[in-house]
A and B are shown apart, each in its own frame.
Chain A
Amino acid sequence: MMAQLLNGLQYGLLLFLVSSGLTLIFGVMGIINLAHGSLFMIGAYVAFLVSKATGTLWLALPVGVLGGAALGALLEWTLFRHFAKREHLDQVMLTFALILLAEELRWVVAGSDFHSVPIPAILDFSVPVTSGFSYSAYRFAVIAICLVLALALFWWIERTRFGAVVRASAENPEMVDVLGLDARRVHLVVFAAGTALAVVAGVLAAPLTSVYPGMGDSLLIISFVVVVIGGLGSISGAFWAALLIGLVDTFGKAYGPSFQGTGALGTLLAALSGSSVYLLMIAVLLWRPTGLFGQRP
């Protein structure tokens, strides 16, 4: 039980790193980025390549942060800037194309094999949680790093002047233009930060999940669910929704299948355990169509 809680927490926090970027980029720029999952994949492959080249994962973190930010800035500058006011369809297709191209890039750089990324040596041990079950120290480290990043993000968005502008433009894009603040600079920074977060999430997750082709795909969809439940453009919404989903998903998968064979209802529960996250989303939408933390229309 304790272990499941930890699993849910760790999964939820990683989800938060990915979906906070998604929700920020959307909130501030009005851009839907389907390729956000690919950024996660890129991060995982960065971890793989860096740890293969240097023998340690730690270097992958700064590479992920800086490289991610640079990649984000580049993408914003060359492509997304010009798509902020285009139709949905154009944005969807642009980012869909980026998914395909990211897969090709992955193939060129790292091939199509599954690769495992070694856990850093100093964290490669297990901490006994209960008698008979231990929890990996690296997972504890991931929880800690994610929490630190989340706190930093809160501080940045809630306490700094730049954060105030970001919040303002998420709530009312016109206002920022009117006030003469440099909207372009805000967009550039937000997109770079969002990209870096997704890349870092990929780096952190690499030793836990292995790296493999198309690994960003399922995460992308779950991140969308997080953003929908949390409310668009809301960082704290994304945080609580990510934790909620991490826990619901973990417990659903852990205990759902054990209902198998306990009557018709049990079988139904077991069958739906893989979809618990989506059912949660439906419930939230019926209750509050703008998400738990979204503004009422």
Chain B
Amino acid sequence: MIGPVRMLPKTWTGWALIWLGFAALAVVPFFATPFYVGLCTTAMIAAMLALSLQLLVGATGLVSLGHGAFYGLAAYTVYLLSPEGDAKPIWLTLPLAMLAAGMAAFLIGAISLRTRGFFFLMVTLAFGQLVYVIFHDTKLGGGTDGAYLVKPLISAFGLTTDVTSLPRSRRAWPAYYVALVQLVAMFAILVLLLRSMLGRVLEGIRVNEARMQALGFDTYRYKLAAFTIAGALAGAAGHMWAMQSGFVNPELVGWHRSAEALLHILLGGIGTLAGPIVGAFAFVFLDDLAQQVTERKLLVEGMVILLAVLLLRNGITGLRWLPNLPDRDPHASHDPRDGVVQQSREPEND
């Protein structure tokens, strides 16, 4: 299995487009009002969550509805580390939040991955709900109303940024750039990961798990590794959310959060690594626009999803006019019953 990685661009133009996109993000604050800097930060956080989930969905073919749990758990970890009164530096909160999310993902994954396909979906949903119930019903994190936290400090090399010392128009900048750095780092990590042995095995599992097992791979271990890494990366996104909003609430953990991340993947394209980022930005800005023009936002969201599912089957990054981004493999189709991919036995009957 040597050769180009399916989910990464195959030509230099594709790569150039991606890095150009990141470069564009780097200069956004110079042109945007503080509100839109904040909105872009929100979009980047959503992109991080979707990107971490893409490791499972796009790369391994595992659709999890419990991913929001790791995101929320990390946000709560930040709260538990720095409840109102005592801010902690980011070099402490970020690793610990990722560690907590990763550990939870390891435990939940260890049990959920004993199941496959449709079962896996339901089990992850139920686990996500379990985490939700824990934060909702106990006083641990402020119960239903949620709680505040002191935003972690952005400090490095002995320098600490005090946001309030900045002029009002620039107070959103530190969070923005911290989010951008993390987004780029996460993308880079996933690129390396997809190119590694692990990435190749995951691709093999996606295409045909039985064959990988026959080849002697302990697929359960590889899937668990992917699930744990994805959970820890989702933790980075949750940590960043807590940092930006300074607020935690049980709804962060709920399964709608996971569904939203899946939606970003679908919208951006399931077959590419850049897809979730594009999808998250598209959706966050569409959402903002819908908020301004209509009272019935859910209707807009519902229609967008429906259209995306029905018409935009390869997502935005799968549109033809984009230069040679990888396409969804037309010959493989999942049988949702067992999660094993097989050569499609007949053309779709629609």
Contact = CB atoms under 8 A, between A and B. Distances in A.
- A–B touch (CB < 8 A): the answer is yes
B119 A232 contact: yes
Given A88-B63, A286-B111, A97 B309 contact: yes
A90 B309 contact: yes
A285 to B, nearest CB: 6
B306 A228 contact: no
Contact of A87 (B138, B305, B333): B333
Contacts of A92: 63, 65, 121, 259, 262
Nearest to A218: B129
A26 B305 CA distance: 22
A101 B118 contact: no
Main secondary structure of the interface of B (DSSP, over half): helix
B262 A285 contact: no
Interface string A221-244: 100110110001000000000000
Given A32-B121, A97-B302, A278 B129 contact: yes
Nearest to B136: A274
A278 B133 contact: yes
A31 B118 CA distance: 8
Interface stretch (B15-23, B149-157, B170-178, B293-301): B293-301
* Chain A interface main SS type: helix
B63 A104 contact: no
A69 interface: no
Counting chain B CB atoms within 10 Å of each CB, which of A91, A98, A278 scores highest? Answer: A278
Contact of B63 (A82, A89, A289): A89
Interface residues of A, number: 44
Interface residues of B, number: 52
A278 B126 contact: yes
Contact of B123 (A30, A104, A281): A281
Given A30-B337, A87-B270, A93 B344 contact: no
B137 A278 contact: no
A275 B129 CA distance: 9
A290 B263 CA distance: 28
A285 B115 contact: yes
A271 B138 contact: yes
A85 B344 contact: yes
Contacts of B350: 81-82
Contacts of A34: 259
Contacts of A107: 296
Q: Which of B65, B111, B130: most chain A CB closer than 10 A?
A: B130
A169 B137 CA distance: 42
Q: Which of A96, A101, A221, A232 has the most CB of B within 10 A?
A: A96
A282 interface: yes
Contact of A224 (B122, B265, B313): B122
B349 interface: yes
A49 to B, nearest CB: 21
Given A30-B336, A93-B259, A271-B137, 4 more contacts: A30-B337, A275-B133, A281-B123, A289-B114
22 contacts: A82-B348, A82-B350, A85-B333, A87-B336, A88-B121, A90-B313, A91-B336, A92-B63, A93-B308, A96-B259, A96-B305, A97-B302, A97-B303, A101-B302, A103-B298, A107-B296, A271-B137, A275-B133, A281-B123, A285-B111, A285-B115, A290-B115
